[in-house]
Each structure stands twice: as structure tokens, then as C-alpha cells.
A and B are shown apart, each in its own frame.
Chain A
Amino acid sequence: MKPSLFRNSIAILLLISLIWSCNKDECFDIDHLDFYSEEISKWYVNDSIESFTIIDNNGVSQTLQITGRDLHITDKSTYDDCGNSYGSSYYSVSYKTSVSPISFGVFISGSSFENGFTLRLNYNRRIEPIVGKETVYNFVSRKSLDNVSEIEYLDNFSVNEYEFSDVLEITFINTSFENEVKTVYFAKGYGIIKFVTQNGNEFGIK
């Protein structure tokens, strides 16, 4: 590259970056952020909910154990050009079944970033065939953010005579073997209340 061409390229790059930096960020819509921050906090699993018994189609019981939960809240994590700042939150809860080799992790996060209010569900099998899947739900668009699952928002849902409102029905699209988890039901404030395997066996709160 000729020195003059090189100098010109640098100058153009500097100009572009200056113009870019002069663009003003959109101001935070604080009302919008406050609404969704409060909304996602209602999806955290209540502290009063501990491990509980689940029963399958054949009447066989086991425990869906809550093995950990955590909440991190930061007051000011992002800033806009209008003098506003906004915080972020990160909640997690993890589960394992006491007999079958299944583990779940649920992560609910909130921030001012694009797609900032999400619920991420991951599912793992602890023995072979090993499976690990993860999908993300956007609370604002009420849709899955990926092609791993289809997610429906159910206003009401019942499991073994228990009634729940505001439930996410998360159905993994590509499941291959009979004991692989196909659908997970996550209720606002209660957490996972039911899951269904590929062969149709349903494991619901008892």
C-alpha cells in the first residue's frame, strides 16, 4: 500500500469513528424499563418454594430438587447520553431430579440492553446419552430468541389439580430419543412445575 493511500485510509477511519461517537444514544425509556424490571422480578421462584415431589404418568414419584438460587442486583450498570443510568438484575435457580438424570437451570436477567429482559432455560442429562440444550425467552416480545424452542405464554395452566397463572410452555424443537425432555412448564413465582419427555411421559408437581 502506498504511504499516501495508507494516510488517507487512516483519516477516513478516524472521521467515521468521530461521526459515530457524535451520534447520541437514545435516552432510556425509564417507565418501560421499570415496568419490565418489576415484571421479571415476579418470575423469580418464591423463597418459600423448596424441593417438591413430582409424579409421572405411571404413578412413580421422585423429587424435583432445587439445588441453588441466586440474585444479583446492580444499581447503575448502564448510562445514556441524557444523564440517566439504569441498573441490572440477574436471578438464577437450578434443579435436579432425584432419580432420573435430569438437571435444569433457569436464569432471569434484566437490563437496559436490547433484548435485556429474558428468561434462559438450560437442560442437561447427567448420564449418557448426554444432552445439553439452552433456549432464551424475551419477556418484551414474548417470543423465543432462538430456533432451539417454541415458547407459548399460557394465561392459565393446571397440573395434577393445581392451578397456575402465567406459565411459559417451552417446547424444544429437535428432540431425538425417548427420555429426552421435550417440554418444560415454568410458572411465574413457582418455577418449573412440569416437564414432558419425548415419549410422552409427563412429570408434574404432586
Chain B
Amino acid sequence: MNTIKILFFILILFPACQRGEEIRYIPLSAFDKSFINYSEFEAVPFIHSNGFEFNLIVESKTISTRQSETKHPRDDYTTYEVLRCKLNSVEPELNIEISVMPKAYEPFLRITVGDKGFFFNTQSPPDMDSIILNNTAYFDIFLLGSGVYDTTVIFPSGILYTKEEGILLIKMSNNETFTIQK
């Protein structure tokens, strides 16, 4: 009798455990990938506003897949590709992750510096035409702000970014900066 009860419950529970089906797979396009031009293990020279020079190292650059969130486990889902790039430095210890999703899914590029996150819409036009940093001109610049205004804590508050060079400048909330030095 007990065996019959257990089998009965399994039969009832089994369909509830099944996942929905993948209804769409969205790969990254060449346009999406063009937003992260770093090469794996590349060293990008930076200088702090007080003159200290260091390299940001591209630790990894990978494409992975994620599944869209669903309300119920049995709902169908979309799988999409994400390009992720991790950069870090030892002194100062900066830990940065840049990720871009397909324009066809959610057209966002996201940058996290430590605990702080920044993002911009990859379909939006650049915010600035050009800027000169450390005697080098850069074009088509995106401005990213963290939207956090706690003045008692020093944290990354803004980033300048281009498709070609990646991060040009990280501005801290106390006005110190980390600037690319090509």
C-alpha cells in the first residue's frame, strides 16, 4: 500500500519538477561584441591622479550563456549569450568586470568596479565626441555614473568608456581619478 502511495506522489510531483522549454537562443552579434575590445591577458597602462602608474590586466574574456528569468519553473525561457571581461590590478586592488548582452535581448553594457555597478544602453549614441587624456585623443565616449551620492564614502562615481579602448577613466567620489595612459 505504501509503495502505491509513493508512486502516486511521484507521478503527481514529476510534471511539476519539469522545466519549461527553450523557445529562443540569442547569440551575441558582431555589433554586441564590438563593445569590448580587450584581449585576454592584455596589460592596459593607467595612472592615478597623484602620479602612481599601474597596469590593469585583462584576466579573462569569455562568452557564457544565461537563461531568462521565469515566473514559474515550467515556463518557457530564452537563452542568451553574454560576453564577460574581467580586469584587475594589484596596487591599487581594482576588480572590474565588463559584460555585454545581445542587443536583441537587452542592449546593455554593464561595468562593475568592486561593489559599484554602472551601465549604458548600447543602442544609445555616445555622450561625447572626443576627449584628450594624457596627450591622447579618444572619440565617441560614453559617460557612466553610478547614481550613488553618499559623500562620506570614497567609491567609483563615474567612468568614461569607448568601444575601441574600453575604460578611459574611473573617477572616484573624492575626485581622485584612474586614467588610461597610452
For B152, the chain A residues whose CB sits under 8 A away are: 50-51, 63
A49 contacts partner chain B, Cβ-Cβ < 8 Å: no
What interface size band does chain B fall in? Answer: 20 to 34
Query: Are B154 and A58 within 8 A (Cβ)?
Result: no
For B156, the chain A residues whose CB sits under 8 A away are: 99
Whole-angstrom CA separation of A58 from B48 in the bound complex: 9
Query: Are B154 and A100 within 8 A (Cβ)?
Result: no
Number of A-B residue pairs with CB-CB distance less than 8 Å in the complex they form: 63
Query: Are A62 and B91 within 8 A (Cβ)?
Result: no
Most central of B90, B93, B115, B152 by chain A CB within 10 Å:
B93
Which single member of B91, B94, B154 contacts A98 (CB below 8 Å)?
Answer: B154
B92 contacts partner chain A, Cβ-Cβ < 8 Å: yes
Binary B-proximity of A40-81 (CB < 8 A = 1, otherwise 0): 000000000011010011111111010000000000000000
Q: What's the least CB distance linking A205 to chain B, in Å?
A: 13
Whole-angstrom CA separation of A180 from B115 in the bound complex: 19
A127 contacts partner chain B, Cβ-Cβ < 8 Å: yes
Query: Are B153 and A60 within 8 A (Cβ)?
Result: no
CB-contacts of B92-116 with A (<8 A): 92-95, 113-115
Chain A residues within 8 Å of chain B by Cβ, number:
22
For A179, the chain B residues whose CB sits under 8 A away are: 90, 93
Q: What's the least CB distance linking A103 to chain B, in Å?
A: 11
B52 contacts partner chain A, Cβ-Cβ < 8 Å: yes
Binary A-proximity of B36-57 (CB < 8 A = 1, otherwise 0): 0000000000001011101000
CB-contacts of A168-201 with B (<8 A): 178-179, 199, 201
Query: Are A59 and B153 within 8 A (Cβ)?
Result: no
Most central of B51, B154, B156 by chain A CB within 10 Å:
B154
Query: Are B48 and A60 within 8 A (Cβ)?
Result: yes
B174 contacts partner chain A, Cβ-Cβ < 8 Å: yes
Query: Are A60 and B52 within 8 A (Cβ)?
Result: yes
Whole-angstrom CA separation of A57 from B50 in the bound complex: 12
For A60, the chain B residues whose CB sits under 8 A away are: 48, 50, 52, 91-92, 176
Q: A99-B156, A100-B114 are in contact. Are A127 and B92 (CB under 8 A)?
A: no
Q: What's the least CB distance linking A83 to chain B, in Å?
A: 51
Please list the residues of chain A having a beta carbon within 8 angstroms of any beta carbon in chain B.
50-51, 53, 56-63, 65, 98-101, 126-127, 178-179, 199, 201
Other A-B pairs, 18, CB within 8 Å; known A51-B153, A65-B153:
A53-B174, A57-B91, A58-B48, A58-B52, A58-B91, A59-B48, A61-B176, A62-B92, A62-B154, A98-B153, A98-B154, A98-B155, A99-B156, A100-B114, A101-B93, A179-B93, A199-B90, A199-B91
